[in-house]
Amino acid sequence: MKEVKLVPFTYKNEKQIAVKFGYDDSIRIHLKKLLDIKWSNSNKTFYIKYSSENKIKVYKHLRAINCLIDYSELKTVLPNITKTQSFKLPKLNEHQTTDLQRFKKWLQQKRLSENTVNTYVEVTSFFIRYAALKNTLNYSKRLIESFNYDFIVQLNKSISYQNQCINGIKKFLDYKGVEVEALELERPRKEKKLPVVLNIEELKQIFDQTHNIKHKTLLSLIYSAGLRIGEAINLKVKDIDSKRMLIHIRGAKGKKDRYTLLSEMFLDLLRIYYKQYKPKVYLFEGQGGEQYSSSSAQSVLKSAVSKAGLKKQVTLHTLRHSFATHLLENGTDIRYIQELLGHSSPKTTMIYTHVSETSIRKIKNPFDNL
């Protein structure tokens, strides 16, 4: 894992957070995608204004590329940080490090996504160190259950993270040739929460508060085409088919291609954006023609939601949920919605029937018969 240190320092008479790391192009390029990050020639470091929000923002941004972050000098506790220090886990030895690198290559050969690979490798690293702490090489069901309790349950990790841990460990055992099914590892059931959905007026308020044409175009695209943020920032100029009024989504979740709708009103906005920014490869590009970052997009949305005074917990995925729900309320067959969203199972799409106002309004309230 690449090591990065977050250090407080004063620059231009203001308290800043310096991001220190050894020369690494991948970290440098990734950092440049972060909104509000700057480079100081005199200090030879990236930096950002010191604030609780920025501490979390920088941490999450660097964790996305699997960096090991030392934030001890900030004298703070950041959320979602695995408290491995509680267990005083031993460091990986040379053999374990080599084995972990081979495991990563093995996962990559399975053509898993980069995020999934990084997550599985990180979890496995903790599991190997936990086994070393327990002085055992016997990766038994009992050891995994003990790791699960100490590392996940005791630290109140989410069910989603617990499932990722179990998936990662199972992949590692498979890589090591251990009979996984015989261990009978069970994943906890996820909470079934209904998605947050915005109404049309709330969407208008968000778009009205987004004045930068690139930002408005990106948010409008996610809603009008029902895209995941990864799909939106991966889009290339050539993927827009204005003659057929379709958008070609390539290699989406599950490594599937699909087509989704190209709105006429959105196309007008897109043409204005294109004339102003003239993107070369990716439809949305950051500084230097690099791919736009999801964290920047989330910051844009958060700012617009705040300015609009909305109280709902809105994320970029909320725009996709809203697209699907509004299609359903307008009478679109749920099988078409499934295709547009790229869901492999209709069960996933059916969740929108639970949040559709049209469906709920059709129900006659028995109180009205009294």
Highest mean pLDDT among 158-167, 178-187, 296-305: 296-305
Report which of residues 7 and 287 the model is more confident about.
Answer: 7
The answer on pLDDT for 164 being more than 90 is: no
pLDDT of residue 289: 74
Q: What contacts 216, CB < 8 A, 6 or more positions away? A: 207, 210, 269
**What band does 63 get if pLDDT is binned at 50, 70 and 90?**
confident
pLDDT of residue 362: 67
Closest CA to 170 of 184, 159, 160, 180: 180
The per-residue pLDDT of the chain, averaged, comes to 84
Locate 237 and state its tokens. 């100029």
**What band does 166 get if pLDDT is binned at 50, 70 and 90?**
confident
pTM, full prediction: 0.60
The answer on pLDDT for 77 being more than 60 is: no
Q: Which amino acid is at 190?
A: K
pLDDT of residue 349: 85
Domains, the chain, in order of start with CATH, read 2-79 (3.30.780), 86-183 (1.10.150), 200-360 (1.10.443.10)
Highest mean pLDDT among 10-19, 212-221, 338-347: 212-221
The answer on pLDDT for 115 being more than 80 is: no
pLDDT of residue 117: 87
The answer on pLDDT for 86 being more than 60 is: no
User: Which of 174-188, 286-300, 301-315 bottoms out in mean pLDDT, i.e. has the lowest?
Assistant: 174-188
Residues involved in catalysis: 228, 253, 317, 320, 343, 352
pLDDT of residue 82: 44
pLDDT of residue 172: 92
Residue with tokens 């129900």: 363
Q: What is the pairing mode between strands 14-20 and 45-49?
A: antiparallel
Give CA–CA dist 120/12, Å, rounded.
Answer: 41
pLDDT of residue 191: 62
For residue range 308-355, what is the model confidence (pLDDT) as tens digits? 999 998 999 999 999 999 998 888 888 999 999 988 888 888 888 777
**How confident is the model over 137-166, as a mean pLDDT?**
79
